[in-house]
Amino acid sequence: MSATIKDVAREARVSIATVSRVLNNSAVVTDETRQRVLEAIKKTGYKPNALARSLKIQKTHTIGLIVPDISSTFYPEVVRGIEDIAAMYNYNIFLCNTDQKEEKEVKYIEILGEKQVDGIIFMGDIVRDSVIQTFNEFGVPVVLAGTQDKDKRFPSVMIDNEKAAYDAVKYLISLEHKRIGMISGPMHDPIGGLQRIEGYKKALEEHGIKYDPELVVEGEFKTRKAYLAMLKLLEYKVDAVFAASDDMAAAAINAIFDSNLKVPEDIHIVGFDNTYISTIFRPTITTIQQPAYDIGAVSMRLLTKLLAKEPIEEMHVILPHQLIVRESTGFGEE
Amino acid sequence: MSATIKDVAREARVSIATVSRVLNNSAVVTDETRQRVLEAIKKTGYKPNALARSLKIQKTHTIGLIVPDISSTFYPEVVRGIEDIAAMYNYNIFLCNTDQKEEKEVKYIEILGEKQVDGIIFMGDIVRDSVIQTFNEFGVPVVLAGTQDKDKRFPSVMIDNEKAAYDAVKYLISLEHKRIGMISGPMHDPIGGLQRIEGYKKALEEHGIKYDPELVVEGEFKTRKAYLAMLKLLEYKVDAVFAASDDMAAAAINAIFDSNLKVPEDIHIVGFDNTYISTIFRPTITTIQQPAYDIGAVSMRLLTKLLAKEPIEEMHVILPHQLIVRESTGFGEE
DNA sequence: TTGTAAGCGTTATCAT
DNA sequence: ATGATAACGCTTACAA
């Protein structure tokens, strides 16, 4: 139906090779023939077929994005960062939501491989063996964004979660708190779960506070669980809480209010992620900023280098995090 | 490098046609040869090349998604709805962020066309002529999600924005308010801007309240603008406000607090969208629920029908909205 | 400078 | 039931 390079060639009375040449404005084509071809293109309404081109040159200028859930709070920002850089380098993006389900992850990698993506950016709490194996089967360049495989074989971009948690808790300690609770991510999550708990422990121990397992309650990044977790921590009489996400921090604050206590007057809270919610919630929430956009942008930049076979300075990029002090730890009071 | 259908054929000592047959488990292939081919596939580690396949069958099973900004509050949910249905029908998704810039919209449509997507779902406040023209050039099936072209030539899925705004304001009127302000979207946005203002006007007029243009202040869906808009409305002594988005409602509430007034005690607020923020913010925000996920899901379903050339019952789907009453209009008080 | 033709990896028609 | 082969729309040696 739509015009092909052949139609243009016929119209311009040249060979398809010549048309191809002006299309890729390669080689030296006479201005005159170029003009003829350009006109023919216009006249026929010709649109190049990227599929055919990709099949020939063995490059699609397309990359795959594997994301747990594009409708959650953290990932849209990461994806935006990826997209912006991808657009700069003329890459298009396949979006795949996995809900962190292993079979979906594997299946999507296979589909992406079959669709001949030039590279893949993978996100998800844990990088399973089956996922790693599938990557290897297709031999496609991969960058891990906000996560890491246990053998660190794949390039990755993330923050230092342990250090970030450490900083958050250390800040609470500097505010003279002794009984500091934590609402954690899931225990099976090596990054957002365990690493942050590790940082929490380290901060306590380095400052001579004994670690009490009872004060770490799993919130699993769910507001309902976090709310309940906070109620439990209240029973243990904590005077400060570090929540592994802003959502959970907000839920915790609600639980505190609903128990007729106040933040920051009675209890201090620190969240994690510096999402929108931490700025708009009242009290505004002290939090750790994860540079979500940058994680995406740097991951994509790294991938472009991989694809161009440029030398990589650093396989495992650690981006800086930042403690942002707000009302939930008493900032703004005297 | 990676095995092709030829390698498999050679390995299994059959023709490529036969391999293709077992791949598409079409036609009748002897169990014996099928077995041989299957083994050859395993042995060679063959992965089909979807590009070649698509080039041949003229279908990519890929659709393009054109979105203003995936990192904003509303769209991730829509996209998730699209993705879920797309996955059910084995479609993959190209994600394109436009920031509502005309040139980006047009360029992405062209790229999607060249990459031979089977269809496109378009989102954005306004559907420009250049966009429509580009759609036509490529002749690719299109569904508009959450928006509409002025001639209604393209299928669309959305809510009745005017009616939704009407319902919101009518509810405020039912609470005995007389001086009702509005923080609106941008005036150049026919859907989220003008239609909602229209609903606001209609509700007032139908209930014998004179419409006062001063009481409609543009917030442009930006929290900072909305904050300032609310300060202005306070000067005009409004006793209730309808904000065209939850973000703006939250910002308005902050402005009210910062002016030493209280919500809902002194002023009632209604938002729009039923985003996460309206549930977690305190006071929780009365709002209009736009079924974002459903808009996405229904759009994608509609597109699958278009692609399968199934008959379409309704070119312009209106999904139900809902008023959700929360604390910002005094719910929960006596 | 331009044209011819092979090939990218499939599917599908037509023989056998 | 299976095999040859043309075709999908393009790029790119190699020739002319």
Tokens 């849209």 -> residue: A76
Asked if A99 is an interface residue toward chain B (Cβ–Cβ < 8 A), one would say no
Chain D positions with any atom < 7 A from a protein CB = 1-5, 7-13
Distance CA A98, CA A106 (A): 9
Residue nearest D11, CA–C1′ metric: A56
Å between CA of B79 and C1' of C8: 34
In whole angstroms, give the CA distance from residue B332 to residue B184. 27
Is the pLDDT reported for residue A1 higher than 70? no
CB-based contact (8 Å) between B57 and chain A? no
Q: Are A113 and A96 in contact (CB under 8 A)?
A: no
Residue nearest to nucleotide D5 (CA to C1'): B17
Return the structure tokens found at B218. Answer: 């543009």
Within an 8 Å CB–CB cutoff, is residue B125 touching chain A?
no
Contact A270, A172 (CB under 8 A): yes
- The answer to whether B186 faces chain A, any CB pair under 8 Å, is no
Residue nearest to nucleotide D13 (CA to C1'): A17
Q: Are A267 and A49 in contact (CB under 8 A)?
A: no
The closest nt to B27, taking CA to C1', is: D1
Mean pLDDT confidence for A14-18: 95
Res A237: pLDDT: 96
Model confidence pLDDT, tens digit, residues A276-322: 889 888 899 999 999 999 999 999 999 999 999 999 999 999 999 99
Residue A334 has pLDDT above 70, yes or no: no
Cβ < 7 Å from nucleic strand C:
A 13-18, 21, 27-30, 32-34, 52, 55-56, 58; B 4-6, 16-17, 20, 23-24, 26, 46-49, 51-53, 55-57
pLDDT at residue B255 greater than cutoff 70 = yes
Per-residue pLDDT of A76-120, as tens digits, reads 999 999 999 999 999 999 999 999 999 999 999 999 999 999 999
Q: Are B67 and B104 in contact (CB under 8 A)?
A: no
CB contact under 8 A, B97 and A83: yes
List CB contacts (< 8 A) between B60 and chain A. 51
User: Does residue A97 sit at the B interface (CB-CB below 8 Å)?
Assistant: yes
Give pTM, 2 decimals. Answer: 0.91
Rounded mean pLDDT, B66-92? 96
Spell out the residues 6+ positions from residue A265 whose beta carbon is closer than 8 angstroms to its own.
none
Q: Tell me, what's the pLDDT at A331?
A: 84
Joined together, the tokens standing for residue B61 give 């099973």
Query: Any residues with CB less than 8 A from the CB of B196 and at least 6 apart, and which?
Result: B161, B162, B164, B165, B182, B184, B185, B244, B272
Rounded CA separation A272/B199 (Å) = 40
Q: What are the pLDDT digits (tens) for B13-48?
A: 999 999 999 998 876 789 999 999 999 999 999 999
What Å value separates CA A25 and C1' C1? Answer: 14
- Read off the tokens for B194: 């003008």
User: Would you call the peptide bond into A76 cis, given omega within 30 degrees of 0 as the criterion?
Assistant: no
Residues from chain A contacting residue B93 (CB–CB below 8 Å): 94-96
pLDDT, position A120: 98
Mean pLDDT, all residues of chain B: 95
Report how far residue A243's alpha carbon sits from residue B71's, in angstroms, rounded to the nearest whole number: 23
**In chain B, which residues have their Cβ closer than 8 Å to the Cβ of A138?**
2, 47
Per residue in A204-256, pLDDT tens?
999 999 999 999 999 999 999 999 999 999 999 999 999 999 999 999 999 99
The two three-digit tokens of residue B141, written as one number: 């099936």
